[in-house]
Amino acid sequence: MLEKYKNSTVYQIYPRSFADSDGDGVGDIRGIISKLDYIKSLGVDMIWLSPVYKSPNDDNGYDIADYKAIQPEFGTMEDFDLLLKEAKDRGISIIMDLVINHTSDEHEWFERAKAGEEKYRDYYIIKKGKDGKLPNNWGNFFAECPWEPFGDPANEDYYLHLFSKKQPDLNWYNPEVYREVSEIMRFWLEKGVAGFRCDVINVIFKQSFADGKKSLVLTGKEHYMSTDGCHSILAALRRDVLDKYEAFTVGETVMVDLKKAYDLTAPERGELDTVFAFEHMECDQIGVKWFKTRFKPKRLMTVLTKWQTGLDWNTCYFENHDQPRSVTRFTKGGEYREIGAKMLLGLLFSLRGTTFIYQGQEIGMTNGAFESLDEIVDIESHNVDKMAKGLGIINPFRWRLINKTSRDNARTPMQWSAESGAGFTAGKPWLKIHPNYTEVNVERDLENPDGVIAFFREINAYKKSSDVLLDGSFKEIYRGRWVYVFERELDGKRLTAVCNFAPKRVRIPVELKGAVAVSNYGGGAGKWLRPYEFVLLENV
Ligand code: ISL
């Protein structure tokens, strides 16, 4: 149901790191409830809640052991119901994370499969090895082998796991899996959730299990990326379940190009409403995401323009729980942290599409300050370290690579105040809090009329009141080494967005006209743009 929700501003909450109400060092649902007024005050109207289901936490909740129960450290089902109600009372809808490519190996289905129940064995992808060899040569998202022995190794049975070995992939050939998942979706929709963010949704259906073309990243992916089978499942789920509740879906879709994203979201096909594509998140990497290269703003601009013009409706995001913090990644930070964070927000809200914000982005939180792998919890980072070690990469280099790319960079606890525990917890936080919390925190930012939050509120409110930003077309005017200028237009009304990605003054390369609508320095641009300046002009 895109029409109903497309103009929402969506705020992603990573529950573990958001707000801890009981002092156990882990964020929880009561903590989220206590911050709803704050979220509302930002002008947010939808929350995307990362998994809160029961989980052994191998992958922080993306390994689900019970889709209909709440993780005890997050609270109870009563807490969840209260969250839903309190959010609704404030005009905020909630979308849940739907993780249906895999379950946890501690899910009852997998446990019964292991205990020998044929019915449940068929819920998973279990294949025979051949003469001591694995069933195929596929790769794995978390830098490990995707096949793990199932039962007695002498039988040479293996189960597939595209992610960790505690995340066995579901067998979408089995109609029972479809039935179970539909029922789970109905369970949450009946409670009143507005829809789902669908985890790695374009890989759920494996069209074949043949060996893949050898590749640096994910050998075998051609057998499961956006397959026909996946399209059919998505259309069926929409028809059988989602449309009955006018639910909204955003699919996390890995390695999609424009054509694939179009096919997954084309209204006439009735599959997903929107997708998270990743090409712009790949603009500072070489091949795989663990190899970062120097950020060149022009590469980001090129990808943004490509998607803005190539797809009618995008999701616009710079951060989530898997990506480094945008202010660290796309600006020099330091003395430019606040102005840079505002420029990035200005750019994000000026693009055409549904805007997604990740917790902490509204105060310009930075990448974590980790000193060694011992401080990192993320399973992916630990696996990458093992893999890199296997390749003979020695330690200062391994750590440098992981420190930059670890998903924990975005998962450090939310910085609410300068008090100990950053106002996040009264206990020992599950992950190291960034020591800059004494300066970078919500309380302090709110005291500043020119703070990042104030700017966030301003640009968000402006977008919500502007037909041109909500519905207008996108046209690139200029893309240079540092400066990005584009125009949004609707019925002859125009807005021009100007962004300077340089930590220095840059001469404006094009002639700009119009009155300043929003600006991160206050006031308009002269002939020169100041470091990380953002201006939105109304062209009369
Ligand atoms: O870089 C990526 C895509 O280019 C990946 O981070 C990708 O988004 C990711 O591997 C898939 O992420 C999702 O599913 C995982 C979970 O660990 C992530 O947190 C979740 O966002 C497995 O469920």
Q: Which tens digit of pLDDT belongs to each residue from 304-359?
A: 999 999 999 999 999 999 999 999 999 999 999 999 999 999 999 999 999 999 99
What average pLDDT does the segment 459-488 reach?
Answer: 97
Across-strand partners of 13?
Answer: 49
200 lines ligand 1 (CB under 6 A): yes
| Residue 489: burial class (beta carbons within 10 Å; 0-12, 13-18, 19+) | middle
Classify strands 157-160 and 126-128 as parallel, antiparallel or unpaired. antiparallel
Rounded to the nearest angstrom, the distance between the alpha carbon of 526 and the centre of ligand 1 is 42
Residue nearest to atom 12 of ligand 1 (CA): 200
Q: Can you tell me the mean pLDDT for 373-395?
A: 94
Q: Which pLDDT score is estimated for 3?
A: 84
Nearest to 27 by CA among 45, 10, 15, 11: 15
Within 10 A of 141 (CB to CB), how many other CB atoms are there?
Answer: 20
CA 456 – CA 441 distance, rounded (Å): 15
125 lines ligand 1 (CB under 6 A): no
Q: Which of 141, 203, 380 should be mutated for ligand 1, with most atoms under 8 A from CB? A: 141
Instruction: Give 223-236 as a 3 state SS string.
Output: HCCCCHHHHHHHHH
Cβ atoms of residues 149 and 135 within 8 Å: no
Going by C-alpha positions, the residue among 376, 528, 442 that lies closest to residue 18 is 442
Pocket test for ligand 1, best of 48, 140, 169, 200 (most atoms within 8 A of CB): 200
- Look at residue 525 and tell me whether its pLDDT is greater than 70: no
Cβ of 379 closer than 6 Å to ligand 1, yes or no, is no
Q: Which ligand 1 atom is at minimum distance from the Cα of 102?
A: 23
- Of 62, 160, 257, the one to substitute when testing ligand 1's pocket (max ligand atoms within 8 A of C-beta) is 62
> 219: which 2 tokens?
């050998």
Residue 289: CB within 6 Å of ligand 1? Answer: yes
Q: Does the beta carbon of 410 sit less than 6 angstroms from any atom of ligand 1?
A: no
User: Which positions are catalytic?
Assistant: 199, 252
| Residue 494: closest CA among 503, 484, 507, 485 | 485
Q: Work out the number of other CB atoms within 10 angstroms of the CB of residue 104.
A: 27
Give the whole-angstrom CA distance, residue 44 versus residue 281: 23
**Hey, which bits of 263-353 come out as E strands?**
274-276, 285-286, 288-292, 315-316
User: Using only C-alpha atoms, what is the Rg of the chain?
Assistant: 23
pLDDT at 526 over 90: no
Q: Which of 15, 186, 191, 224 is nearest to 102 (CA)?
A: 224
β-partners of residue 490 are: 493
| Residue 303 pLDDT exceeds 70 | yes
Q: Which atom of ligand 1 is nearest to the CA of 322?
A: 6
Look at strands 147-149 and 195-198 and give their pairing: unpaired
Using the atom order of ligand 1, give the atom closest to the CA of residue 323.
6
Q: How many Å lie between the centroid of ligand 1 and the Cα of residue 322?
A: 6
Q: Rounded distance, CA 290 to CA 281, Å? A: 12
Q: pLDDT exceeding 90 applies to what percent of the chain?
A: 94
Using the mean position of ligand 1's atoms as its centre, give its distance from the Cα of residue 466 in Å.
33
Contact (Cβ atoms closer than 8 angstroms) between residue 110 and residue 167? no
Of 6, 47, 3, the residue nearest 357 (C-alpha):
47
Average per-residue pLDDT for the chain: 96
Residues 397-402: what's their mean pLDDT?
A: 94
Q: What is the rounded (10 degree) CA torsion for 436, 34, 98, 471?
A: -80
> What are 188-235's pLDDT values in tens digits?
999 999 999 999 999 999 999 999 999 988 999 999 999 999 999 999
- Residue position matching structure tokens 């917790």: 359
10 Å CB burial of residue 268 (0-12, 13-18, 19+) is exposed
H/E stretch holding 273 reads none
> Quick one: pLDDT at residue 524?
74
Counting residues of the chain whose pLDDT is more than 70, the rounded percentage is: 99
For residue 200, the CA-to-ligand 1 centroid distance in Å is 7
Pocket test for ligand 1, best of 198, 256, 322 (most atoms within 8 A of CB): 322
Would you state the structure tokens that stand for residue 490, as one six-digit string? 């609707």
Read off the pLDDT band of 132 (50, 70, 90): confident
Alpha helices in 210-317 (DSSP H): 228-240, 258-265, 297-310
Q: How far apart are CA 296 and CA 301, in angstroms?
A: 9
**Short-list 533, 532, 513, 531, CA closest to 523:** 533
- Average pLDDT of the residues in 446-458: 98
pTM of the model: 0.97
Ligand 1 site, residue 322, Cβ cutoff 6 A = yes
Cα–Cα nearest to 474, from 483, 462, 464, 484? 484
From atom 6 of ligand 1, which residue's Cα is the shortest distance away? 322
The CB of 63 under 6 Å from ligand 1? The reply is no
Q: Does any ligand 1 atom lie closer than 6 A to the CB of residue 62? A: yes
pLDDT in the model for residue 506 = 96
Pairing of strands 195-198, 93-98: parallel
> C-alpha distances in angstroms, 266 versus 97, 125, 270, 273?
22, 30, 7, 8
Mean pLDDT of 519-531: 88
Tokens 């794995």 locate to 140
**Does the Cβ of 356 fall within 6 Å of ligand 1?**
no
Q: Is the CB of 169 under 6 A from ligand 1?
A: no
Residue 523 pLDDT > 90? no
- Three-class SS of residue 339? helix
Intra-chain end-to-end CA distance of the chain, in Å = 34
- Does the Cβ of 59 fall within 6 Å of ligand 1? yes
Q: Whose CA is nearest to atom 23 of ligand 1?
A: 62
DSSP labels, 24-44: SSS--HHHHHHTHHHHHHTT-
Q: Which atom of ligand 1 is nearest to the CA of 163?
A: 22
Which two tokens mark 341?
């964070």
What is the structure's pLDDT at 540? 66
Does the CB atom of residue 99 touch ligand 1 within 6 A?
Answer: yes
